[in-house]
Amino acid sequence: MVTQELDQLKKELEECKEKLRVYEPPPRREGDVIPRKRKRQCRVTRRSCCEQVLEILKEMPGVERRYFHKPKVPPKVKLSCLCDTLPTKDTITPQVFHLLRRYLENQEPGNGFESEIFAYFKGQDAKSLEALRLGLKVYDEIPATKQRCLFREEFLNWPLEKPIDADTLAKAWVDEAVILGRDFLYDQATCEAGKLRPWEREFPGDPDTPQPTKVVAPWPWINSVNGLRTANHRQPLDYYLPQEYQRECTFTLDQDTQEVKAQCQDATWPNCEMSGHQHKGKCLRVPEARAGQVATLVGFNFFSKNCKVELYHSEQPYKYLLEATICGDAKTPVHQPDGAVIADHRVTDRLTFQIPDKTPDGLYEFVPGIYLVRVFVPNDANYNLTDGSKPKHFASNYAYLKILPSQNLKYRIWLDKGHCYNETDGEWFSDEIYLKAIPVVLKAVGETPSWLELPAQETWTWSDADEGETLSNWDWRLVGEPGAPLSFEGFLAIGLIGYEVDSEDALKDQVKSFGDAYLQYLKKIWGLLAGSGAAGAAIGALKAVSLWVAALIAGIVIAAILLVGLIWAAWAPADRVLFDVIVLPEEGLFFLTDPKTPLAATSTRELGSDQDVTLSVIPESKLNYLYVEERRYSSASEGSEYGLWFVYKRDV
């Protein structure tokens, strides 16, 4: 009886899979306005019949669960999802494949850039070149309707004799990187000034006046500086996160191991770095940054793109008035349903500015120390106060920023453990997780990011990843080697992509070979664009470069991941189960490995343009200058969940 039931369920599963193969998304009705970024699980809702059959199969006595998995998502479904969810149409893929096509069709190089790329192709082994050729074939087979949806039409169907220009490609890559990075970091593909939100602010009045003065106006307000909330945060907080409190530490030298050990506890008033920067008697951390770096303020009423930031040294007569860049909150409405103005922490207007590396006269190094920070917003909106006056600008509250002297530190980052909470859903047999890392460094504002040379372990394969299995004693070195840590200034970004391929599938080697070859190809292209100055010129042409430093560095990585993933989506044999971009400014990595800084709270967010992968960051331990966190990835469409343990170590 069990055999008959099993055969019947297998038959139903095959019928379900056939239905999935012939699925075609309904046509868009004329007049529909569908945003390019749809926050929906577009793959999940179409597989319910298969889900039910599989659940029954898995629970039957004598059936091994590992042999029964959900069917692959067809390419047309994957491509439809990408069409609906990408924040921008891609301009890089058509150009890099056109460049490859010109080489394969024996065209003469049209310029110096093409000459170097063609020489690169000639130096590739037969396997890598064949992998690129297969990728081009997959790209050409994408239906024309999907191509027009995924790619900017002006970059499609170029005549074979048209060469690729380095400046055009560099500008396309930089522009796309900024959009992708901004979308990933801020969930906002475009940026405008914030909205005008008048609210009643209290000011200390004359000593002889019993009540403070109250004025309604669009007063700007700083709620956080470099990710740490201010003591006068609006709305008032009942508590702050552990990492937002100041710590006091005692350091001792272990005579046996010669390691420096730290014993730390929360600092309490009056031992605060700044006396007013405390909450219910517990000292709050003063945000820190370094001269020459970019600082970020989050608040509200940054309603003009002509905002200025004032830095005023708390102890010495140094004052700076700096240019700022605004990315206003376009989602939060101005009013609540009851008509009250929303002017508090629910609004996330962002303002960035670059900290000088010289004194105002340009003769000396920037003076470190704790600075008072406030924002001046010009009254571009011509707002009138109740007394009829029209201020030239509106000033925010004061916040604090500790600016540190320059410091050259070295780091290593590696993975030492993995765990499969729920195995990925492949075809019918065991699964193999294919992981690839992409690290990029941006040294300073306006300079060209460089693609780091990785150690030999650029990729990692987790064969037959079964539910409940732990991959221990792992040593996947992402950045730096023992005895050779990385020293960098500015931003470090690490892209991570993970795909499931069936270990018995004959296509798996082609899939992996294409991923390896294509990323090396993109890496070569970016290196040439950077070396020729084309990428630097494109970055320099950006308006408000300081705001987009983090977005640019993240976007360069995301673009590479997206381009590989796009072809894989059209190919069909690999399903994405993991995606991540870790953006670490120099000071961020410093605090991660700083024994005085407590562990952060667990955080969760959705990743990918389709929001399919959920990332949970679970800080685990901090010992001296070594920090460990688990990054757990759950894929809604694949029903999988994997945990990877990252280790960050500062060499001291």
203: domain CATH number is 2.60.40.10
| Confidence at residue 21, expressed as pLDDT on a 0 to 100 scale | 44
Least confident range of 35-44, 155-164, 477-486: 35-44
| Confidence at residue 306, expressed as pLDDT on a 0 to 100 scale | 94
- Looking at the fold, whether 373 and 465 belong to one and the same domain comes out as no
Assess if residue 446 is contained within a domain. yes
pLDDT at 215 over 60: yes
| Confidence at residue 516, expressed as pLDDT on a 0 to 100 scale | 84
What's the mean pLDDT in 497-516? 72
Question: 2 or 377: which carries more pLDDT confidence?
Answer: 377
Phi, psi of 542 (to 5 degrees): -65, 140
pLDDT bin (cut points 50, 70, 90) of residue 311 is: very high
pLDDT bin (cut points 50, 70, 90) of residue 46 is: very low
Assess if residue 276 is contained within a domain. no
| Confidence at residue 39, expressed as pLDDT on a 0 to 100 scale | 43
| Confidence at residue 455, expressed as pLDDT on a 0 to 100 scale | 62
Residue 53, burial from CB neighbour count under 10 angstroms (0-12, 13-18, 19+)? buried
Assess if residue 258 is contained within a domain. no
Query: Containing H/E element for 316?
Result: none
Residue 237 has a CB neighbour count (10 Å cut-off) of 15
- Looking at the fold, whether 372 and 512 belong to one and the same domain comes out as no
Q: What is the pLDDT of residues 101-138, one digit of tens each?
A: 999 999 999 999 999 999 999 999 999 999 999 999 99
- Looking at the fold, whether 385 and 512 belong to one and the same domain comes out as no
pLDDT at 453 over 90: no
Report CA-CA distances (Å) from 28 to 24, 31, 78, 153.
Answer: 12, 8, 17, 19
Out of 404, 426, 451, pick the residue that ends a domain. 404
pLDDT bin (cut points 50, 70, 90) of residue 56 is: low
Beta bridge partners of 606: 614
Q: What is the pTM of this model?
A: 0.71
- Looking at the fold, whether 343 and 230 belong to one and the same domain comes out as yes
Assess if residue 436 is contained within a domain. yes
Assess if residue 273 is contained within a domain. no
Least confident range of 21-25, 302-306, 350-354, 360-364: 21-25
- Looking at the fold, whether 398 and 527 belong to one and the same domain comes out as no
Assess if residue 617 is contained within a domain. yes
- Looking at the fold, whether 229 and 345 belong to one and the same domain comes out as yes
- Could you tell me which residues come within 8 angstroms of residue 159 by beta carbon, excluding any fewer than 6 positions away? none
- Looking at the fold, whether 88 and 46 belong to one and the same domain comes out as no
Q: The domain containing residue 609 runs over which residues?
A: 73-190+408-652
- The span from the CA of 637 to the CA of 613, in Å, is 8
| Confidence at residue 25, expressed as pLDDT on a 0 to 100 scale | 38
Cβ(176)–Cβ(559) below 8 Å: yes
- Looking at the fold, whether 62 and 154 belong to one and the same domain comes out as no
| Confidence at residue 40, expressed as pLDDT on a 0 to 100 scale | 43
Least confident range of 20-24, 432-436, 439-443, 556-560: 20-24
- Looking at the fold, whether 484 and 607 belong to one and the same domain comes out as yes
Question: 365 or 332: which carries more pLDDT confidence?
Answer: 332
Assess if residue 271 is contained within a domain. no
What's the mean pLDDT in 175-183? 88
pLDDT at 59 over 60: no
Residue 534, burial from CB neighbour count under 10 angstroms (0-12, 13-18, 19+)? buried
- The span from the CA of 294 to the CA of 444, in Å, is 9
Q: What is the pLDDT of residues 362-405, one digit of tens each?
A: 777 788 889 999 999 999 999 999 888 999 999 999 999 998 87
What's the mean pLDDT in 269-275? 86
Out of 72, 101, 116, pick the residue that ends a domain. 72
pLDDT bin (cut points 50, 70, 90) of residue 45 is: very low
Question: 33 or 351: which carries more pLDDT confidence?
Answer: 351
pLDDT at 263 over 90: no
Longest dimension (CA), the chain: 94
Out of 47, 72, 97, pick the residue that ends a domain. 72
- Looking at the fold, whether 80 and 212 belong to one and the same domain comes out as no
| Confidence at residue 22, expressed as pLDDT on a 0 to 100 scale | 40
Distant-in-sequence contacts of 113-117, Cβ < 8 A, 24+ apart:
113/164, 113/165, 113/166, 113/528, 113/529, 113/532, 113/534, 114/163, 114/164, 116/528, 117/524, 117/525, 117/528
Report CA-CA distances (Å) from 387 to 217, 218, 383, 384, 432.
Answer: 11, 15, 12, 8, 71
pLDDT at 652 over 90: no
* pLDDT above 90 coverage of the chain, percent: 38
Average pLDDT, the chain: 82
| Confidence at residue 587, expressed as pLDDT on a 0 to 100 scale | 74
- Looking at the fold, whether 178 and 204 belong to one and the same domain comes out as no
* pLDDT above 70 coverage of the chain, percent: 81
Assess if residue 278 is contained within a domain. no
pLDDT bin (cut points 50, 70, 90) of residue 181 is: confident
Q: What is the pLDDT of residues 592-639, one digit of tens each?
A: 888 877 888 899 988 766 667 899 999 999 988 899 999 999 988 778
- The span from the CA of 523 to the CA of 453, in Å, is 10
| Confidence at residue 645, expressed as pLDDT on a 0 to 100 scale | 96
Q: How many domains is the chain built from?
A: 3
pLDDT at 193 over 70: yes
What's the mean pLDDT in 46-71? 51
- Looking at the fold, whether 170 and 219 belong to one and the same domain comes out as no
pLDDT at 245 over 60: yes
Report CA-CA distances (Å) from 257 to 260, 484, 628.
Answer: 9, 21, 20
What's the mean pLDDT in 77-83? 79
